[in-house]
Amino acid sequence: MNLARVSSLFVRGTALLALGLHMAHAAHAALPTVSTPVREAAPPSAVGGAGLLQAGFGMAAVVGLIFLCAWLARRFGLQRLGGGQAVKVVSTAMVGPRERVVVVEVAGQWLVLGVTGSQVNTLHTLPAQATPAAVTPMSPQNPMGLFAQKLRDSLAGKARTAP
Protein backbone atom coordinates (compact mmCIF):
# COMPACT_ATOMS: atom_id res chain seq x y z
CA MET A 1 0.00 0.00 0.00
CA ASN A 2 1.63 3.24 -1.00
CA LEU A 3 1.76 6.30 1.20
CA ALA A 4 -0.96 8.09 -0.80
CA ARG A 5 -3.34 5.17 -0.24
CA VAL A 6 -2.52 5.03 3.48
CA SER A 7 -3.16 8.75 3.85
CA SER A 8 -6.39 8.40 1.83
CA LEU A 9 -7.60 5.65 4.17
CA PHE A 10 -6.61 7.79 7.17
CA VAL A 11 -8.61 10.75 5.81
CA ARG A 12 -11.63 8.55 5.16
CA GLY A 13 -11.43 7.08 8.67
CA THR A 14 -11.15 10.54 10.17
CA ALA A 15 -14.16 11.74 8.16
CA LEU A 16 -16.21 8.74 9.33
CA LEU A 17 -15.21 9.42 12.93
CA ALA A 18 -16.22 13.08 12.61
CA LEU A 19 -19.55 12.05 11.09
CA GLY A 20 -20.18 9.61 13.94
CA LEU A 21 -19.35 12.24 16.55
CA HIS A 22 -21.66 14.72 14.83
CA MET A 23 -24.50 12.19 14.83
CA ALA A 24 -23.90 11.39 18.51
CA HIS A 25 -23.97 15.09 19.35
CA ALA A 26 -27.24 15.54 17.43
CA ALA A 27 -28.79 12.57 19.23
CA HIS A 28 -27.66 13.96 22.59
CA ALA A 29 -29.12 17.39 21.77
CA ALA A 30 -32.51 15.81 21.08
CA LEU A 31 -32.73 14.32 24.61
CA PRO A 32 -34.82 16.16 27.21
CA THR A 33 -32.80 18.32 29.56
CA VAL A 34 -33.00 18.63 33.33
CA SER A 35 -32.49 22.03 34.83
CA THR A 36 -29.60 22.38 37.22
CA PRO A 37 -29.18 24.95 39.95
CA VAL A 38 -27.26 28.03 38.90
CA ARG A 39 -23.82 28.28 40.47
CA GLU A 40 -21.26 30.96 40.38
CA ALA A 41 -18.92 30.62 37.43
CA ALA A 42 -15.51 29.30 38.37
CA PRO A 43 -12.60 31.53 37.47
CA PRO A 44 -10.87 30.42 34.27
CA SER A 45 -7.86 28.28 35.02
CA ALA A 46 -4.57 29.01 33.34
CA VAL A 47 -3.16 26.26 31.16
CA GLY A 48 -0.08 25.02 32.91
CA GLY A 49 3.09 23.48 31.58
CA ALA A 50 1.87 20.02 32.55
CA GLY A 51 -1.19 20.35 30.32
CA LEU A 52 0.89 21.53 27.37
CA LEU A 53 3.40 18.73 27.93
CA GLN A 54 0.63 16.14 28.04
CA ALA A 55 -0.96 17.51 24.84
CA GLY A 56 2.44 17.55 23.12
CA PHE A 57 3.14 13.93 24.06
CA GLY A 58 -0.32 12.89 22.89
CA MET A 59 0.18 14.60 19.54
CA ALA A 60 3.64 13.09 19.14
CA ALA A 61 2.21 9.63 19.91
CA VAL A 62 -0.51 10.01 17.25
CA VAL A 63 1.96 11.22 14.60
CA GLY A 64 4.34 8.40 15.55
CA LEU A 65 1.51 5.87 15.23
CA ILE A 66 0.67 7.17 11.75
CA PHE A 67 4.28 6.82 10.63
CA LEU A 68 4.52 3.36 12.22
CA CYS A 69 1.41 2.20 10.32
CA ALA A 70 2.78 3.58 7.05
CA TRP A 71 6.13 1.85 7.65
CA LEU A 72 4.44 -1.46 8.49
CA ALA A 73 2.27 -1.22 5.39
CA ARG A 74 5.33 -0.66 3.24
CA ARG A 75 7.50 -3.23 5.07
CA PHE A 76 5.03 -6.10 4.93
CA GLY A 77 3.63 -5.25 1.51
CA LEU A 78 -0.03 -4.71 2.30
CA GLN A 79 -0.49 -3.50 -1.27
CA ARG A 80 -0.16 -7.13 -2.38
CA LEU A 81 -3.37 -8.15 -0.61
CA GLY A 82 -5.42 -7.10 -3.65
CA GLY A 83 -4.77 -10.39 -5.48
CA GLY A 84 -5.23 -10.79 -9.24
CA GLN A 85 -2.88 -7.99 -10.18
CA ALA A 86 -2.51 -7.34 -13.91
CA VAL A 87 1.05 -5.99 -13.59
CA LYS A 88 3.75 -7.78 -11.57
CA VAL A 89 7.23 -6.33 -11.04
CA VAL A 90 9.75 -9.09 -11.75
CA SER A 91 13.00 -7.19 -11.18
CA THR A 92 14.41 -3.69 -10.90
CA ALA A 93 17.91 -2.21 -11.15
CA MET A 94 19.10 1.33 -10.50
CA VAL A 95 21.26 2.74 -13.32
CA GLY A 96 21.50 6.32 -12.07
CA PRO A 97 20.32 8.59 -9.30
CA ARG A 98 16.82 8.91 -10.81
CA GLU A 99 16.91 6.27 -13.56
CA ARG A 100 16.26 2.56 -13.37
CA VAL A 101 15.46 -0.45 -15.50
CA VAL A 102 12.36 -2.38 -14.46
CA VAL A 103 11.14 -5.76 -15.74
CA VAL A 104 7.37 -6.17 -15.39
CA GLU A 105 5.12 -9.07 -16.36
CA VAL A 106 1.90 -8.19 -18.15
CA ALA A 107 -0.38 -10.83 -19.75
CA GLY A 108 2.35 -13.43 -20.22
CA GLN A 109 4.88 -10.91 -21.54
CA TRP A 110 7.91 -9.40 -19.83
CA LEU A 111 8.41 -5.72 -20.59
CA VAL A 112 11.84 -4.21 -19.98
CA LEU A 113 11.15 -0.56 -19.12
CA GLY A 114 13.48 2.39 -18.75
CA VAL A 115 12.09 4.58 -15.98
CA THR A 116 13.21 8.17 -15.33
CA GLY A 117 11.76 10.96 -13.25
CA SER A 118 9.64 12.21 -16.14
CA GLN A 119 8.98 9.30 -18.51
CA VAL A 120 8.79 5.54 -19.03
CA ASN A 121 10.16 3.93 -22.22
CA THR A 122 9.78 0.33 -23.39
CA LEU A 123 13.28 -1.00 -24.05
CA HIS A 124 12.49 -4.63 -24.92
CA THR A 125 9.68 -7.22 -24.88
CA LEU A 126 10.23 -10.87 -23.93
CA PRO A 127 7.96 -13.89 -23.48
CA ALA A 128 7.42 -14.55 -19.77
CA GLN A 129 9.79 -17.10 -18.29
CA ALA A 130 10.49 -18.62 -14.93
CA THR A 131 12.34 -16.27 -12.62
CA PRO A 132 16.08 -16.93 -12.95
CA ALA A 133 17.72 -18.70 -10.02
CA ALA A 134 20.03 -15.74 -9.42
CA VAL A 135 17.05 -13.52 -8.65
CA THR A 136 15.30 -15.75 -6.11
CA PRO A 137 16.08 -14.89 -2.49
CA MET A 138 16.90 -18.43 -1.39
CA SER A 139 19.25 -19.41 -4.22
CA PRO A 140 22.84 -20.43 -3.38
CA GLN A 141 24.16 -17.62 -5.62
CA ASN A 142 22.52 -15.06 -3.33
CA PRO A 143 24.67 -14.43 -0.19
CA MET A 144 21.60 -14.43 2.07
CA GLY A 145 20.39 -17.66 0.45
CA LEU A 146 23.84 -19.21 0.94
CA PHE A 147 23.84 -18.18 4.62
CA ALA A 148 20.32 -19.56 5.08
CA GLN A 149 21.35 -22.87 3.50
CA LYS A 150 24.48 -23.15 5.70
CA LEU A 151 22.44 -22.34 8.82
CA ARG A 152 19.83 -24.95 7.84
CA ASP A 153 22.55 -27.55 7.27
CA SER A 154 24.24 -26.82 10.61
CA LEU A 155 20.92 -26.99 12.50
CA ALA A 156 20.05 -30.25 10.76
CA GLY A 157 23.48 -31.64 11.72
CA LYS A 158 22.97 -30.72 15.39
CA ALA A 159 19.48 -32.25 15.34
CA ARG A 160 20.94 -35.56 14.14
CA THR A 161 23.68 -35.62 16.79
CA ALA A 162 21.39 -34.61 19.68
CA PRO A 163 20.42 -37.53 21.99
Span 52-73, pLDDT tens digits: 889 999 999 999 999 999 888 8
Domain encompassing residue 21: 3-30+48-80
CA distances in angstroms from 36 to 33, 153, 157, listed in the order given:
9, 78, 80
How confident is residue 80, by pLDDT bands cut at 50, 70 and 90? low
Looking at the structure, tell me whether residues 60 and 112 fall in a common domain: no
Three-state SS at 159: helix
Task: Answer yes or no: is 149 within a domain.
Answer: yes
Q: Is the pTM of this model over 0.75?
A: no
Task: Answer yes or no: is 56 within a domain.
Answer: yes
Task: Answer yes or no: is 109 within a domain.
Answer: yes
pLDDT (0 to 100) of residue 45: 62
Looking at the structure, tell me whether residues 22 and 52 fall in a common domain: yes
Looking at the structure, tell me whether residues 74 and 121 fall in a common domain: no
Task: Give the pLDDT mean for 95-122.
Answer: 88
Task: Answer yes or no: is 112 within a domain.
Answer: yes
Looking at the structure, tell me whether residues 23 and 63 fall in a common domain: yes
Looking at the structure, tell me whether residues 20 and 58 fall in a common domain: yes
pLDDT (0 to 100) of residue 134: 45
Looking at the structure, tell me whether residues 59 and 102 fall in a common domain: no
Task: Answer yes or no: is 39 within a domain.
Answer: no
Looking at the structure, tell me whether residues 114 and 64 fall in a common domain: no
Query: DSSP class of residue 126?
Result: E
Looking at the structure, tell me whether residues 11 and 74 fall in a common domain: yes
What does the alpha-carbon distance between residue 150 and residue 30 come to, in Å, rounded to a whole number? 71
Total count of domains within the chain: 3
Is the per-residue pLDDT at 81 higher than 70?
no
Selected residue with higher pLDDT from 30 and 118: 118
Selected residue with higher pLDDT from 105 and 161: 105
**pLDDT tens figures, 19-48:** 777 777 777 766 676 777 767 766 666 667
What does the alpha-carbon distance between residue 23 and residue 17 come to, in Å, rounded to a whole number? 10
